[in-house]
Structure 1
Amino acid sequence: METTSEISTGTKVQIEYVPYRRLCPSPLNVRKRQPTGIESLAETIAAKGVMQNLVVHETTGRAKLPKLGVCAGQRRLAALDLLYEQGRITKDYLVPVLTVSEGEALAASLIENREREAMHIADECVAFRLLTEEGKSVAHIAALFKVPDIAVRRALKIANLSPLLLDLLREDRLDYEQAKVLVLTDDHAMQERVWNDAHNAWQQRPSELRAAITTAEIDARENALAKFVGLEAYEAAGGRVRRDLFSDDQNAGYIEDADLLHRLATDRLIELSQGVCAEGWAWVETRTRYDALEIMRHGRIPSTTRQPTQAEEDELAALVAKRDAAHMELNAYYDEDGEPDEARQDRLDADVTAATYAVDLYAERFESFDADDMKGAGAFVCLDDDGQVCIERGLVRREGVPGQPANASHAIQQTGTPQRIPKERPLHGEKLCKRLTAHRTAAVQIELAQQPGVALAALMYRMIPVVFDDVYGHAYTDHAVRIDVHTTRDALVSNADDMADSVAWKALEGERSKWARMLPKRTDELLPWLLQQDTDVMSNLFAFCVAATVDGISPADRAHPVNELANTLEVDLTRYWTATRAGYFEHVPKDRIVTVVGETVSTQAAGELRGMKKGDAAAAAERRMTDSGWLPEVLRNREVPERITYGRWNDDENTDGDPDEEADPESKRETVTLAEPDQTGDRPIDGDAEEAEAA
Structure 2
Amino acid sequence: MVTTHSTANKTAKATRSKKAAPDAAQTASQTLLQLLIATPVQLMPYSRLSRTDLNVRRIPHTDKEVEELADSIEAVGILQNLIGVELPDGSVGVVGGEGRRRATGILVKKGITDADTPFVPVKVIPLELAVVASMTENGQRKNMHPAEQIVGFRTLEQEGKTVSQISALLGYAPRHVQRCLKLANLAPSLLDTLARDEISLEQCEALTLADTHERQEQVWKEAVEQWRDPAVQTLRKMVTNDKMAVSHPMFEFVGEEAYIAAGGTLTADLFSDRDSTFADAAQVKSLLSGKLTVLAARIQQEQGWGWSEFRMSELGDNVTDREQYRFAMPDAVLTEEEKQRVSELEEKMEATDSHDDEYALQQEIDDIVCEATYREATPEFRAAHGVWVSWDGGNFKVQAGIHKVTDEERQEEEKALQERRDNVMTYTTPDIPADAYPATLVKAMSAERTLAVQVELAGRPDVSVALLTWTLCLGLFDRRHGQRSEPLKASVSSNQYHLASLAPSGEEGKALMALRTQKATFQATLPEHWHLGFTWLLSWSAEEVNTLLGFCAAHGIDGIQERLYNRTDKSALDGLEAALDFDLRKWWQPDAESYFGKLKIAQIGKAYEQAGLTDKAGEVVKLKRRDAAKAAEQDLNAVGWLPDWMVRPAPAAQAEESTETVADTTDHAA
Tell me the TM-score normalised to structure 2 length: 0.35
Which one has a bigger Cα radius of gyration? 2
Greater relative contact order (Cα < 8 A, sep 6+): 1
Tell me the TM-score normalised to structure 1 length: 0.34
